[in-house]
Structure 1
Amino acid sequence: MRVEIWSDIACPWCYIGKARFEKGLAEFAHGDEIEVVHRSFELDPNRARGDIGPVIPMLAKKYGRTIDQAREMEAHVASNAHAEGLGYLADGRDHGNTFDIHRLLHLAKARGRQEELLDLAYRTNFAEERSVFDPEVLVELAVEAGLDADEARTVLGDVDAYADEVRADEREAAELGASAVPFFVLDRKYGISGGQPAEVFTQALEQAWQSHTPALKTIAGDAEACGPEGCEVPR
């Protein structure tokens, strides 16, 4: 069974939601039979490349809050992240356009290293001093994830590389009605929005699994048959 996750590296609830989903998946009896696919979603697609600024003023402007209120918002998110065992810097982080990061994640997907790069990008963005909006930092992360540095630089330097794949993911999200992330789609039958508690993911996986592999219905069971004690002999 497949689970598709639409997310953005700039989204703190995607970071937290991924950790919660993985905990829920670990409690699911058929977890080793689940294929997880990560898909692209930009929260701020109209932001210019290179327009990078601190998170707190951005939040204050976006939500019409004061700087102190924006800090309180980040502190609330940080407490949720810490509760999941995740590092989180509530202040001093950057914000910017994530299109290049998504393109690089598609390269990583093509090379079988998407999960590794995604985890590194989340950790770097939310828990480290390095900025994921610095192309050289992205190359460093690509190498840490097992990708070739030159190939990563080539992709980042070509704005068309993997652009179609990113846009295709975003169109599909719109077609599915996803207007916020994280957005989880289970077996193309069930959708879950937001960084829900781990137990919600476990329950949803169980429900999706039951409809994916319905219980066998016996049509006829009265004819002669063989079992552990032998075969029925007509009289």
Structure 2
Amino acid sequence: MRVEIWSDIACPWCYVGKARFEKALAAFPHRDQVEVVHRSFELDPGRAQDDIEPVVTMLTRKYGMSAAQAEAGEDNLGRLAAAEGLDYRTRGRDHGSTFDMHRLLHLAKEHGRQDELLQIFYRANFAEERSVYSEGPERLVELAAEAGLDTDAVRKVLADPGAYAEDVRADEREAAQLGATGVPFFVLDRTYGVSGAQPVEVFAQALTRAWGERTPLRLVDQGDAQACGPDGCAVPPVG
């Protein structure tokens, strides 16, 4: 079974939702037969790389809330993150474009390191004092190296704005086609969708239901099928 997760590194609910889903998956009896694929979704698509601002400022501007309301929301997210065993800085974080990070996640996917890099990006963005936005490309190179990626390959991607750009945009188009208007957005076997950082129990129920409703392969009556197998190939009839 395949689970696809659309998310953004700048999304705190994606950070919390990933932890909750992973708790459900860890307890799922068929977890070893579940493939998890991370898909790109930008909360601020098209945002310039140098357009960086404090999170509280972004929240007040984008959602029309007061600074006190924005800070209270961050405090609440901090408590929810802590409940999942996650570190979360409620003050002093900044916000910017995540496009380059999404491009690097597609590079990491090719090397089987996508989940590791995503978790590192989340930790760097939500828990560490250093910024993933204002320190330039070398900060992303450093984080990608921590996930086991080759630094020269990472620098090559970052130096080419077109590298993996279409992969990111394709994920975002697909999210729109599936009806996703926000993240995190979980799709189980292209049959069930789960929106938001749901409780662990909800993810557990979704996994169980999707697994139970998987359709086994049904073979059409093939008669004397001509095919190749471990013991060789069928001999074609003569005449």
The answer to whether the superposition gives a TM-score over 0.5 is yes
Q: Which residue of 1 aligns with 2:161?
A: 159
* Alpha-carbon separation, structure 1, partners of 2:192 and 2:145: 35
The separation in 1 between residues aligned to 2:23 and 2:2, in whole angstroms, is 17
Equivalenced residues, count: 215
Distance 2:141 2:190 in 1: 34
Structure 1 runs of 4+ aligned residues shifted over 3 Å read none
- Tell me which amino acid in the other structure corresponds to 1:97: S
Using the alignment, how far apart are the partners of 1:28 and 1:117 within structure 2?
Answer: 24
Q: Distance in 1 between matches of 2:152 and 2:130?
A: 20
* Per-residue deviation, 1:25: 0.7
- Matched residue, 1:45: 45
Give the drift of 1:77: 0.9
**Matched residue of 1:212: which SS?**
coil
Counterpart residue number, 2:232: none
Q: Which runs of 5 or more structure 1 residues have no equivalent in the other structure?
A: 215-235
1:26 aligns with 2:18: no
Q: Which residue in 1 is equivalent to 2:223?
A: none
Counterpart amino acid of residue 128 in structure 1: E
User: Which range moved further: 125-134 or 14-23?
Assistant: 125-134
- Listed one character per residue, the Cα deviations across residues 168-220 of structure 1 (whole Å, up to 9, x for unaligned) are 10010000000100000000000000000111101100000011156xxxxxx
Instruction: Return the letter of the residue paired with 1:150.
Output: D
- In structure 2, the residue matched to 1:120 is 120
SS at match of 2:18: helix
Aligned-residue Cα RMSD (Å) equals: 1.2
TM-score norm. by structure 2 comes to 0.88
Inter-partner Cα distance in structure 2 for 1:59 and 1:143:
32
SS in 2 for 1:192: strand
Higher deviation after alignment, 5-14 or 57-66: 57-66
* Alpha-carbon distance in 1 for matches of 2:209, 2:19: 20
Match of 1:85 in 2: 85
1 CA distance for matches of 2:117 and 2:28?
25
Which of 191, 201, 212 is the matching residue for 2:193?
A: 191
Matches within 5 A, 1:28-177: 28-133=28-133, 134-177=136-179
Q: How many percent of aligned residue pairs carry the same amino acid? A: 68
Query: Unaligned 5+ residue runs, structure 2?
Result: 217-239
